Amino acid sequence: MLLTDFQKVRFTRPILIDLGGIAKGYAVDRACESLTASGVQSGCVNAGGDLRVFGQHEKSIHLRNPKYPEQLIHAGQLSNGAIATSGIYFTDPDGTLTPRSALITPQTGQPIFMKNSFTVIARTCAVADGLTKALAAEQNPMAEYFQYFNAQALII
């Protein structure tokens, strides 16, 4: 991999990129843009784990308790921003199957089976959604890329 200009990377060999980790967040952002382009001044788009609030609207935010997913934890209010959460607490709800995880450690390619949830608040939902995967992989809510994206991270 070679770094060229600002925000450009050139790879010296073929790679496979999976954008599934930001797809739902990206869709939420596009929905908000469509709403504002249609004249909606304030609103909230919620896609189950990925949420964005825009305009003068303020939304009370609740996160699932990963150890007891039926319980909600009040996390405060959100205005003009986005929040995304990733976790595996619904992959085996009754405990009878082999747990599965869509969260993967990039260094090893192995699934992350931690019972935690990984939440990021950012300006856009695509950024928040993508950073939840980095948070799950690195387990570091103080990583410098959160500052770069002016985002906040929380592990529960």
Q: Where are the domains of the chain?
A: 12-91+99-155
Q: Determine phi and psi for 21, rounding to 5 degrees.
A: -70, -15
| Angle separating helix axes 125-138 and 20-37, nearest 10 degrees | 160
Which one of 1.10.630.10, 3.10.520.10, 3.50.50.60, 3.20.20.70 gives the CATH number of domain 12-91+99-155?
3.10.520.10
Q: How many CB atoms lie within 10 A of CB 66?
A: 20
pLDDT confidence tier of residue 75, bands split at 50, 70 and 90: very high
pLDDT at residue 28 above 90?
Answer: yes
Q: What percent of the chain has pLDDT over 90?
A: 52
pTM exceeding the 0.85 threshold for the entire prediction: no
